[in-house]
Structure 1
Amino acid sequence: MSPTFRALSNRNYRLYASGAVVSNTGTWMQRVAQDWLVLQLTNNSGTALGVTTGLQFLPILLLSPYAGLVADRFPKRRLLQVTQLMMAVPAALLGVLALTGAAQTWHVY
């Protein structure tokens, strides 16, 4: 096996990498869908779209300095499970609101 793909011989890495591909694909699909929903709800307001995009990255900006501390103190597997759940629940709720036609702009923010 070439050095480029040597990490794929490790089962745990393959599980992590495939899970990361699924998670990141879902995250970016959610971001596109949220932006599209905001445009529909606000009659194509660029300002609302900008606010939505800015707010999507706000947790990264605010929580990144503390992420290393948390990662060092908690089991990695449990941390991944909790963070994925914390991303999935709001996404599912927003999806239900959008499908039922009850979504409003502030729900996306």
Structure 2
Amino acid sequence: MRWWSAANFVSNAGTWMQLTVQNLLVLHLTGSAAATGLSMSVQAAPALFVSLLGGAAVDRWPRKTTVAVSQALLGAVAFSTALLVAAGRIDMTALLVLAAVTGVIATVDGPACALLGNDLVPAADVPSAIGVGALVHGAGRLTGTALAGVTVGFLGTG
């Protein structure tokens, strides 16, 4: 569980870095708070509309494989975004598509990661595992957004 918690923290922080930088990039490209809000809505909309399907899929698929695939896909989206920014090919349409794809993947990744963490401990320790999972999620969110701000300040959005 310790290794899983550390890996989940790093992944969660990276995801929040990606989402924060993506929204900063929208603001940088458009100068519009409304466009930034739209991007955030596109990221969150899949959770609203397909989270039940994502949860049902997680219940049916092998959790370790599901987590591995969803994490790899989230990494691929982040890498694709960085490549588009570095190549100067990023635009608002691409950012919205990438935000939507991230949101769809997250509807499966979130429940899969939470349940996998619970699967790694004995039944008597599940309440503690849930607490550790919540702590890791909150710490990753805080750390990721802070690191995104510092990283963008030093290196830019790419």
Same fold (TM over 0.5): yes
Which residue does the alignment assign to 2:2?
A: 14
Secondary structure of the residue aligned to 2:26 is helix
Secondary structure of the residue aligned to 1:101 is coil
Q: C-alpha separation between the residues in 2 aligned to 1:56 and 1:27?
A: 12
Instruction: State which drifts further: 66-75 or 47-56.
Output: 66-75
Post-superposition, which runs of at least 4 consecutive aligned residues in structure 1 deviate over 3 A? none
Which residue does the alignment assign to 1:34?
A: 22
Q: Deviations over 1:33-58 (max 9, x none)?
A: 1011111111x101110100101111
Which residue does the alignment assign to 1:24?
A: 12
Q: C-alpha separation between the residues in 1 aligned to 2:56 and 2:22?
A: 30
Q: Is 1:96 paired with 2:83?
A: yes
Q: TM-score scaled by structure 1?
A: 0.81
User: How far did 1:69 drift?
Assistant: 1.6
- In the comparison of the two structures, how many residue pairs are matched? 96
Q: C-alpha separation between the residues in 2 aligned to 1:89 and 1:80?
A: 14
User: How far did 1:68 drift?
Assistant: 2.5
Bigger RCO (CA 8 Å, 6+ sep): 2
Percent of paired sites with the same residue: 32
Q: C-alpha separation between the residues in 2 aligned to 1:92 and 1:61?
A: 25
5 Å matches for 1:51-70?
51-70=38-57
Q: Which runs of 5+ in 2 are unaligned?
A: 97-158
Which residue does the alignment assign to 1:75?
A: 62
Q: C-alpha separation between the residues in 2 aligned to 1:99 and 1:27?
A: 19
